[in-house]
Structure 1
Amino acid sequence: MRYSLPLFHRRYVIASVLLLISSHLFAQRTINDVMDSTTVNHLLIISKKYGSLSFSGYLQPQFQFAQSNGTQAEYQGGNFGEYTNNRFRLRRGRLRADYMLLTDEGDPSTYFVLQFDGTEQGVAIRDFWGRYYENKWKLMYVTIGLSGRPFGNELQLSSSVREAPERGRMSQILMKTERDLGATFSFNPRWKDATLKNLVLDMGVYNGQGLAGTGEFDNSKDFIFRLSHKPYTFKNAGFSVAGGISMLQGGLNHRLPVSYKMDNVNGMYQMVKDSSANTVNKVAPRRYYGADVQLATATKSWKSEVRAEVISGMQTGTSTTSTTPGSYPVDSKSVALPYYTRTFNGAYLTFVQTLSSTNDQIILKYDWYDPNSKVKGMDISPSRGLSAADVRFDTFGFGFLHHFNPHFKAVVYYDVIRNENTQVTGYTDDRKDNVFTLRTQFYF
């Protein structure tokens, strides 16, 4: 007797085959990407009742060569050992599970993401969040858990699709690790003919320390606001444009009756000590204001893309670094340290040129980060209470990316890093800290 599969099972098998054939068509563009109406058909639909489940992942083995032993390459994937100038590394190893439940009308209802990162240094959770979609008016959805903070463009781009190996120094310092625990309310009309369907307003509240710390260590929270426009194509002109404006209002609670900030003393800016009991439990500010734009030609062959972003504001760190702390700073004897507040500015400009073969791309990138915009060059001196935390860095990067097939690519990239000459020991001349990176990426 000949056996015939029930209709549901036949559809299940067909969906499985389509998944294997077309899974490479879906690429996670941002760290908070989800399935939408254009990608859900590429994923395995388990059932209408129980929703859909998909798996994806990528692995980034790489080799790096630094200009000198012990190069401080924290923003190029980690510092080199004292007697080391070359290394193999697993920069990232990600495995991600996505679950979506649809309504009877086919609209997204509930979404869930769990992602792990595994390297030679251990395994850790990178994403663990859920999202609920309001479907009465189709105007809002809320994301809760460990997710990407909705600020700017580069911070949100997934490392699986970025052409340059790492985010710029500015992005890594201001938000050490781009993910954090909190909640974001997003407003975006989702019906087909909505006039404002390309506008997205994100409003989030987060702990602030991100994955750089084990947990919240004070009462201050980061409030993030972002208004962005999805890519809009000018068909007659043959290019698309997208962009947004972002703002972060946050801070860190003082634990000591001592703090430091820049002030003008006798016509010269220097770090000034504030000793006041009123400082205790007051908030040392973190204020970021950013704008970003992305331009791209509409063609696939010889496609040109430009991404630019600028951020300025106030950042609170310590005497030795302007990086956002993951826990309350202490010295080697666990004694609490005071906060230092500085005004900063920074930006990046990325240009990507696809060649006639869409598998090949040339990458050019420039970024700068000035942690203390009040002082320059030789004005940065220990006698004024300044340190390496106040030194400006400019990075020029260039590389070549080749896609061998839909699941394997490699990039050859070189970072030329320049610091301003100051009176701070170790920064009186340009440091020998250029880095060469050969990175491969396997993904599914």
Structure 2
Amino acid sequence: MIDTTTRIGKTMLSLNSRLGKIGFSGYMQPQFQIAQSKGADGNIYNGGDFGPYVNNRFRLRRGRFRIDFSHYNDNGQPSVYFVFQFDGTERGVNIRDLWGRFYENKWDLFHFSAGVMARPFGHEVLLSSTFREAPERGRMSQILVQTERDLGVMFSFNPRRKNSKFKWLGIDLGIYNGQGLTGTAEYDSNKDIIARISSKKVLINPSLGARISGGISAYLGGITSQNALLNTTQIRDGIAYVKADSAQSNIGKNAPRRYFGADFQLIFPNQKGQTEFRAEYIRGLQTSTATSSTTPGSFPVTSSGAPQPLYTRSFDGAYFYFLQHLFSTDHQLILKYDWYDPNTKVSGLGVRSDNGFSGADVRYDTFGGGYMHHFNQYLKMIIWYEHPINEKTALKGYTQHLKDGVFTLRTQFTF
């Protein structure tokens, strides 16, 4: 997570009192988009769905306002930190952050957080949309960790003394409801445990000034089945098919959500800015439904209200960034490639409806590129085009590549 002990000093407007320090910050992202086809062939990963007769639109993608409060003890050490942030767009207003943090000051090693907060998994999930170069997180991040935030608690090891030998190291361990902010309430008693071990930027080549950072993450959770059917993908005689396990004992059984990932960020400074490479790979088991691999915000039910059977798939995915400043730090070239394979046990023409598969089992490779320009410290512009390529399958609607590319022109105003 962002080092919130220093964020309070970077806000545009701050108020000091004997009780503590209050800071205000915010940003908004007006944008214009053009899709390759009306409805963008179901592409919802570039700021939400396009209507069936819409191929261009203006949107206020995000409108954030944030209040930070920090209290320091008599020795100048952080004691309590509190954050409230909401997001307002033409689609409504929602809470994005509402959490508090307590700092241990005997060893300056630990802190404890509770509330609605970002889940400590991976790099892209934790990277704020204020600073992210691509307009949106990748398809994999949006599917596995919807809305990035959840309600829970987190224990962190984060040395704060300047002379600490472990100042470069961070360890976060969190316990969360699991469904994220897409659901209004917890719908089972299972709690998801998330752990991340990460390093801050470490100098690896003094002559070049090269720095590297990275981390490993684990997500151990699941969804309690409310139906006697549990679906998995099996292989028989070299052919993949969906196996439906029907047993009364499946009701109340935990269907797994287990992710394991690793990421790194490598930076080479130069006279005009810097060159950066980023990569992250995640694999594991994802549970959702027969027609979707997205983590459900509420337990999935049929039109009549009956619980749907759950479907557990083996998945993997990754992304790669190349970032290059052009002429100065005000200009930046952005190139990105990512893939998400929701079902690694089946591919190509093996993805067919008569074997129980659907569009939720189709792999996507996405190529994106763009240019970012900073007019000043309060305004930047992003020009971006992203083109997903679905694998060709035997499913109706997925026998050819879909026309689901999206062009985005975004401005971001920040204070």
Deviations 1:321-380 (A, max 9, x none): 000000000122222100000000000001111112211001000000000000110000
Return the index of the structure with the highest Cα Rg: 1
Structure 2 residue identity aligned to 1:358: T
Structure 1 residue identity aligned to 2:71: L
- In structure 2, what is the Cα distance between the partners aligned to 1:45 and 1:332? 52
Structure 2 residue identity aligned to 1:69: K
Are 1:425 and 2:403 an aligned pair?
A: no
1:46 corresponding residue in structure 2: 16
- Give yes or no for contact 2:11–2:24 (8 Å, CA) kept in 1: no
1:380 corresponding residue in structure 2: 351
- In structure 2, what is the Cα distance between the partners aligned to 1:333 and 1:378? 33
Structure 1 residue identity aligned to 2:304: K
Structure 1 gaps of 5+ residues are 1-29
Shift of 1:290: 0.1
- Matching of residues 159-170 of structure 1 within 5 Å: 159-170=129-140
- In structure 2, what is the Cα distance between the partners aligned to 1:392 and 1:37? 39
Structure 2 residue identity aligned to 1:68: S
- In structure 2, what is the Cα distance between the partners aligned to 1:259 and 1:375? 18
- In structure 2, what is the Cα distance between the partners aligned to 1:300 and 1:313? 41
Alignment partner of 2:274 out of 303, 319, 322: 303
Structure 2 residue identity aligned to 1:303: Q
- Give yes or no for contact 2:340–2:364 (8 Å, CA) kept in 1: yes
Structure 1 residue identity aligned to 2:301: V
- Distance change in 2, residues 1:43/1:82 (3 Å): closer
- Distance change in 2, residues 1:425/1:40 (3 Å): closer
Alignment partner of 1:223 out of 190, 193, 203: 193
2:122 corresponding residue in structure 1: 152
What SS class does the counterpart of residue 372 from structure 1 fall into?
coil
- Matching of residues 84-103 of structure 1 within 5 Å: 84-103=54-73
Shift of 1:39: 3.8
1:412 corresponding residue in structure 2: 383
- Give yes or no for contact 1:233–1:298 (8 Å, CA) kept in 2: no
What SS class does the counterpart of residue 399 from structure 2 fall into?
coil
1:64 corresponding residue in structure 2: 33
Deviations 1:351-410 (A, max 9, x none): 111112211001000000000000110000011110000000010000011011110111
Structure 2 residue identity aligned to 1:88: F
Alignment partner of 1:281 out of 252, 274, 297: 252
Shift of 1:37: 8.9
- In structure 1, what is the Cα distance between the partners aligned to 2:8 and 2:16? 18
1:22 corresponding residue in structure 2: none
Structure 1 residue identity aligned to 2:27: Y
- In structure 2, what is the Cα distance between the partners aligned to 1:278 and 1:424? 33
**Please, which moves more after superposition, 84-93 or 64-73?**
64-73
Structure 2 residue identity aligned to 1:84: V
- In structure 1, what is the Cα distance between the partners aligned to 2:271 and 2:200? 19
- In structure 2, what is the Cα distance between the partners aligned to 1:354 and 1:77? 26
Are 1:142 and 2:112 an aligned pair?
A: yes
Deviations 1:50-80 (A, max 9, x none): 1100000000000000001111221111111
- In structure 1, what is the Cα distance between the partners aligned to 2:27 and 2:232? 43
Alignment partner of 1:55 out of 13, 16, 24: 24
- In structure 1, what is the Cα distance between the partners aligned to 2:102 and 2:210? 34
Between Structure 1 and Structure 2, the one with more strand by share is 2
- In structure 2, what is the Cα distance between the partners aligned to 1:105 and 1:220? 41
- Give yes or no for contact 1:300–1:358 (8 Å, CA) kept in 2: no
Deviations 1:241-296 (A, max 9, x none): 00000000000000111110111223322110000111110100000000000011
- Give yes or no for contact 1:416–1:435 (8 Å, CA) kept in 2: yes
- In structure 2, what is the Cα distance between the partners aligned to 1:407 and 1:384? 54
TM superposition score normalised by structure 1 = 0.91
Shift of 1:42: 7.9
1:23 corresponding residue in structure 2: none
**Please, which moves more after superposition, 228-237 or 160-169?**
228-237
- In structure 1, what is the Cα distance between the partners aligned to 2:273 and 2:10? 29
What SS class does the counterpart of residue 323 from structure 1 fall into?
coil
- In structure 2, what is the Cα distance between the partners aligned to 1:434 and 1:41? 37
1:186 corresponding residue in structure 2: 156
Structure 2 residue identity aligned to 1:133: Y
Alignment partner of 1:202 out of 172, 180, 191: 172
- Give yes or no for contact 2:8–2:68 (8 Å, CA) kept in 1: no
What SS class does the counterpart of residue 61 from structure 2 fall into?
strand
Alignment partner of 2:102 out of 97, 120, 132: 132
1:6 corresponding residue in structure 2: none
Alignment partner of 1:391 out of 339, 342, 362: 362
**Please, which moves more after superposition, 293-302 or 210-219?**
293-302
What SS class does the counterpart of residue 36 from structure 1 fall into?
helix
Shift of 1:298: 2.9
- In structure 2, what is the Cα distance between the partners aligned to 1:322 and 1:279? 20
Structure 2 gaps of 5+ residues are none
TM superposition score normalised by structure 2 = 0.97
Shift of 1:233: 2.1
- In structure 1, what is the Cα distance between the partners aligned to 2:74 and 2:283? 46
**Please, which moves more after superposition, 216-225 or 235-244?**
235-244
